[in-house]
Chain A
Amino acid sequence: MAKFIMITYYLLTAFIATLFFWNFWQEKKKIDRQILYLLVLIPLLLRLLRIK
């Protein structure tokens, strides 16, 4: 059960990371927003890459 929940959370993390990346890519004008999307992406990527 714990493993199933863990995998579900990894899938959720991947989904949210994809959303942030999509928003970053779609943002055309505001550079501050682009930077914010990338900053928020960092912990999600570190977890997906199993580094932290």
Chain B
Amino acid sequence: MRTKIILLICLVFILIWPAIQLYQHRHFQIPIVAGPGVTRVTKLSHYLPALKGTMADTWIFWLEGQESGGKALILGNSHANEPEGMLAALVVIENGLVERGTLLVIPQFNHSASRATRPGDGYPLYFNIDTKWGKKKFRMGNREASPLDQWPDPDVYLHYPDKQLLSFLDARNVNRTWPGRPKGLLMEQVTYAAMELIRQEKVDLVIDIHGAETMFPVTNCIVAPEKSAKLATMVSLTVKATEKFDNHVEPSPPKFRGLSHREIGDYSDAMPFLLEAPIPFLDQPTGPKTEKFLLDGKDPFLLRLSRKNKLFVPYDETGWPIDKRVGQHLSVTLEILRQYSRRTPERSIIIHNVPRYAEVVEKGVGYYFQDPSQVRRDRIYLN
């Protein structure tokens, strides 16, 4: 009996130690400052009330211009372990000033995933970005939604409506559940709500911001379906010529279902784009998955692989720092808006005060975040 009690005490101790950390991580709130360009803030559940009160509901920041024009939607953290998307979205929210048209920004699209982690891969629970006023702390999320919010996983995920068989894990991957359905799995409800937003608000452009492994061929690129391909090609050529970084165009495969760059275009009038920047942290043959590695992208094993031409992007001792990744995403996003506005002046979207690649690389992404303690409380949204 005594042994049993000692063992039970050990069990409680072993349980409590990680449980406190995981609980704190799931409930940690990131203060998002609504910058001067934000005119209103709503929730995704407005487009599907079933999401209200769930961990999948998330903020939508509206940046509306004085003049009417087109509408663009920016999605960050579709995969919450690719934080450059969220950081780029936050830079737009905190700094952007829209002159014409409307910009809608969802910085934590898979909100549930941002509150989960992948301890099997030794992910850090948080990461910090240096700013002018100190460090801004963020949750490090996972690729899939938390199983606490959508569980159990099926043996095989059957995509709706195409019935394509996908990995069981993709049932919680919001970039495999487009276009979604109102009474489906929680992640299908999230994408359905976003589709309703796109259709009801007559959104012209959807920019879904990601990161991808250096050993994965679809990296450092713009993924575009047929309807967005011309614009994406112009954007790719322009940033290469004027800002000196590569961002090639990858066609969206018509037979691979559930992805934003495929389904949004097929189920609405919007033109979708999926942006990928290399994130060495996601590669498998690397050293420990530390916060430093997440932010600077430097790894000796990847460097050796690079010398053997095993990577799909240039890689040297400078790694792939977060500032470079966010800078690329911002420049490509701004260029998509600019090229679209040139082509369709009646639906143009003109935005100012968002930094481009060179500025972000020079000053660091943290330079563009405001100190929440110096901002009016009603301009802060906890996410």
Contact = CB atoms under 8 A, between A and B. Distances in A.
Q: How large is the interface on A (under 10, 10 to 19, 20 to 34, 35 or more residues)?
A: 10 to 19
A50 B19 contact: no
A31 B5 CA distance: 12
A21 B366 CA distance: 50
Interface stretch (B6-14, B100-108, B315-323): B6-14
B23 A2 contact: no
B15 A2 contact: no
Contacts, number: 44
B151 A38 contact: no
A49 to B, nearest CB: 7
Contacts of B241: none
A42 B15 contact: yes
A46 B7 contact: no
B152 A38 contact: no
Nearest to A50: B148
Nearest to A37: B7
Interface residues of B, number: 21
Given A2-B186, A25-B4, A41 B11 contact: yes
A24 B4 CA distance: 8
B3 interface: yes
A9 B83 CA distance: 32
For chain A, what secondary structure do more than half of its interface residues adopt (helix, strand, loop), or is it mixed?
Answer: helix
Contacts of A46: 15, 19, 22
A35 interface: yes
Contacts of B186: 2
Interface string A14-52: 000000000011000001001100100110011101111
A6 B152 contact: yes
14 contacts: A2-B184, A2-B185, A25-B4, A34-B3, A34-B7, A38-B8, A38-B11, A45-B15, A47-B147, A49-B19, A51-B22, A51-B148, A52-B18, A52-B148
Interface of A: 2, 5-6, 9, 24-25, 31, 34-35, 38, 41-42, 45-47, 49-52
Interface of B: 3-4, 7-8, 10-11, 14-15, 18-19, 22-23, 26, 147-148, 150-152, 184-186
